Amino acid sequence: MPWAELLQSSPILLWLLLLLAAWLPLPASYHPLTFYRFFAQRLAYKVNPDPTRPVNQLRLSGGLALLLATLPFLALLYTANWLMDWPELYQLLLLYLCLDFAPLRQRAQRLQQALAGQQLSLARDLASQLLLRQTHSLSAMGLSKAGIESLWLQFARIWLTTLFWYLLAGIWLALAVRLILLLQQSWNPKLSHNRHFGAPVALLASWLCWPGYVLCFVLVCIRLRCRASYRLLRQAPRQYFNWAQSACLSAACASLRCRLGGPAIYEGSIKTNRDRLGLEYAEPDHRHLQQALKAQQQLLQLVLLLSGLAALGWVLLNFL
């Protein structure tokens, strides 16, 4: 079998790439997706200058901006694939770039260290780099809770959702999903100027994230807290969080034994009501955030272990 065909068909290389993405991530300052975020923000500034326009016009602008921000990039990267001597390596490189979770984890670690040192002002400044919501009025408990939620959900979105779509349909769908999730963050409708403009991409992203949220719930059940996670999911109201997100955060509550959810302020002084989860547990503090960092690392190790076992099984079936 030619080397290129072996590269294309072997999950061993995929497993090695996952190890590389987990332990040797690319710094955020050099990451191509950092520049894509900047492009998305500038594009929104150009095509959404007046949020007081009619709602239908704003939503149409948001839908067209979604196409403009994804299709040319995908077409360019797909065309470059034809010019590569080893397109399989090129596609693995694209997957490596999609798994850019390390900067978020580093920010959460710095937030936890500031909270542990009772440096509330510093913690609020650090949280503003991690969170969309207003942080200047958050208490240490609120910062811990928001940090846990962000860490847990972003791991499900960036790692598990991307891997699911990659395994289902290949790199091009996985790359499209990753770009859409970045646009949803940049044009989040929780902010008033994006309320209608960002609605199309937010709706699409909410459905694309379902597999990642459910996989996170399943991984926690495999790891430890199966019954508690399922019980909290059954008790969780469904007024604001969708079911898959409730499953993901219920698993976090069960794993960390702390409360999550509740009102959040994203802009000005207007509160956004959200479901309260894990009411039988205590409110979180910096120790729960530290536990969340450890639990997230354990979930990542479980993903690597399962993928490594799958790769080993493939080798045994095909070469022995």
**b (16+ CB within 10 A) / e for 11-36:** bebbbebbeebbeebbeeeebebbeb
* Interaxial angle between packed helices 210-223 and 140-155, expressed in degrees from 0 to 180 and rounded to the nearest 10: 100
Task: Name the residue with tokens 């909410």.
Answer: 206
At position 152, the amino acid (one-letter code) is W
Task: Name the residue with tokens 């900047």.
Answer: 38
Q: Which of 128, 103, 102 is nearest to 114 (CA)?
A: 128
pTM over 0.85: yes
Integer CA distances (angstroms), 233 to 214, 226, 263, 306, in order: 11, 11, 19, 25
Give the residue extent of every domain in the chain. Answer: 3-319
> For 168, how many CA atoms within 13 A lie in the half-sphere containing its CB?
13
Would you say 260 and 235 are in contact if contact means Cβ atoms under 8 Å apart?
Answer: no
Would you say 112 and 151 are in contact if contact means Cβ atoms under 8 Å apart?
Answer: no
Integer CA distances (angstroms), 238 to 52, 184, 230, in order: 31, 22, 15
At position 141, the amino acid (one-letter code) is M
pLDDT value of position 229:
65
pLDDT value of position 240:
46
Splitting the chain (320 residues) into consecutive groups of 10 residues, what average pLDDT does each group show?
49 89 88 92 89 90 94 94 84 93 93 93 91 86 93 94 91 95 92 89 93 89 67 61 79 87 75 79 92 92 90 78
Q: Is 58 exposed, middle or buried (0-12, 13-18, 19+ CB in 10 A)?
A: buried
Residue 73: how many other CB atoms lie within 10 Å: 16
d(CA 154, CA 148): 10
pLDDT value of position 180:
97
Residue 272, SS3 per DSSP: strand
d(CA 281, CA 140): 17
Three-state SS string over 131-177 comes to CCCCCCCCCHHHHHHHHHHHHHHHHHHHHHHHHHHHHHHCHHHHHHH
Task: Name the residue with tokens 């409730």.
Answer: 246
